Amino acid sequence: MKIVVDTNVPAAEACFGALGEVIRVPGREIEPATLAEADALVVRSITRVDAALIEQARGAGSPLRFVGTCTIGTDHVDQQALADHDIAFASAPGCNADAVVDYVLSSLSTLAERQDFRLAERRVGIVGVGNVGGRLLERLTAMGIDCLACDPPRVEAESIEAEGLAGFHDLDTLIDECDVLCLHTPLVSEGPHATRHLLDAQRLAALAPGTLLLNAGRGDCVDGRALRQRLAGQGDITAVLDVWEQEPAIDAALADLAAIATPHIAGYSLDGKLRGTHRIYRALAHHVGLPSRLTLEDLAPAPPVARLVLEAGLSPEEALRLCLRAVYDPRRDHDSLHREARRQGMAKGFDACRARYPLRREAASLELVLGEGARELEPLLAGAGFQVRSELQAPSAERPAVR
């Protein structure tokens, strides 16, 4: 069996090598000729697996029988086209949800430092309460931060008669009442719950001065031109953007106006990528009737920063910022995007940042040991997703502390 795998899928040889011959191809270079002898295709979000790709590949005699995407989102895959050609499909829902939440928390913490506000005093509106938005809501609530949630499809699916019940509100209520607005919706082009340009010019104009808008869902959910005009004209709101219209040839002027602009890497933790690879490995093994003996633990290396010891002297905001940056600092990716865009142009620079993305772990990989003077920080830091213990508790592993 020949398995074509996006170059950016980690541990592909370790996982898929046990099932067949692995052929690595950059995601944007996968085309019908690439699949001429492929029995399976494993991609990430930059490869459009549409009807044209499938029909041309099958028309040329490709034996393709399985497509897997190592991502949460599936809007880059035409599942109906796969079904029409009897091609099995698998995705990895939730695989990088925790990484995206880390991105959101670290970005908010960075802006709180820059703009001199306390995150605990802000109300956060979460639009889309699926794998990512749901975990973000859980963590923020555990950290003591006030949140409002909006998810009309979920309200409808759960037969809730009126929004506002069970903690759900409509989008305009979030716009009116929240200081921070986080988008975590899939891209839906049509229908009663369409999300394309969900934040259109009218809704962007309704954002109160001082609002912080963060989009780590899908770029097309925000009218980028209207957002650029709001930022360039009034300049009274703040934008954090990880996803964009027309990736990788994104609006460079909008990127310059964003407080944090990153190249669709919010979910790019090593942990999240490995979960995605492992999910698709298991799905392909099941599809071909082979056992999946490799575990996720077999793939993950030890984190480069395993433990931090905190003593008295840090405010809650300082402690949270320190710990978040120990696992992820969004300023690095913001600077990288702008640097590579200057060197190579926006489209090539955008893809270069993704292709050469450095090692990044998740909050759950970091153990925090709290000294006697820092124990009041436990609810905040545990709520943020870290492993937390006091010095009186037995260590979870024999690893050297980083002080």
Return the active site residues. Answer: 218, 247, 264
Q: How many CB atoms are closer than 10 A to CB 200?
A: 13
Q: Within a 13 Å sphere around the CA of 156, how many CA atoms are in the beta-carbon half?
A: 6
Q: Which two tokens stand for residue 96?
A: 């990088």
| Residue-wise DSSP of 210-247 | T-EEEE-S-GGGB-HHHHHHHHHHT--SEEEES--TTT
Q: Is position 268 annotated in a ligand binding site?
A: yes
69-87 burial code (b ≥16 CB/10 A, e <16) = bbbbbbbbbbeebbeebeb
Element (H, E) at 157: helix 152-157
Q: Is position 71 annotated in a ligand binding site?
A: yes
As a dihedral over the C-alpha atoms of residue 163, residue 267, residue 300, residue 30, rounded to 10 degrees, the angle is 120
The answer for residues whose C-beta is within 8 angstroms of residue 178's C-beta and 6 or more apart is: 123, 124, 125, 148, 211
Q: Is position 75 annotated in a ligand binding site?
A: no
The answer for residues whose C-beta is within 8 angstroms of residue 361's C-beta and 6 or more apart is: 269, 270, 271, 303, 304, 305, 327, 328
Q: Is position 151 annotated in a ligand binding site?
A: yes
362-373 burial code (b ≥16 CB/10 A, e <16) = bbebbbbbbeee
How many whole angstroms separate alpha carbon 321 and alpha carbon 323? 6
How many whole angstroms separate alpha carbon 223 and alpha carbon 297? 41
Task: Round the CA-based radius of gyration of the chain to a whole number and report it.
Answer: 22
Element (H, E) at 131: helix 131-142
Q: Is position 103 annotated in a ligand binding site?
A: no
* DSSP code at position 186: P
Per the annotation, where are the binding residues for substrate? 45, 71, 268
Per the annotation, where are the binding residues for NAD(+)? 151, 185, 242, 267
Per the annotation, where are the binding residues? 45, 71, 151, 185, 242, 267-268
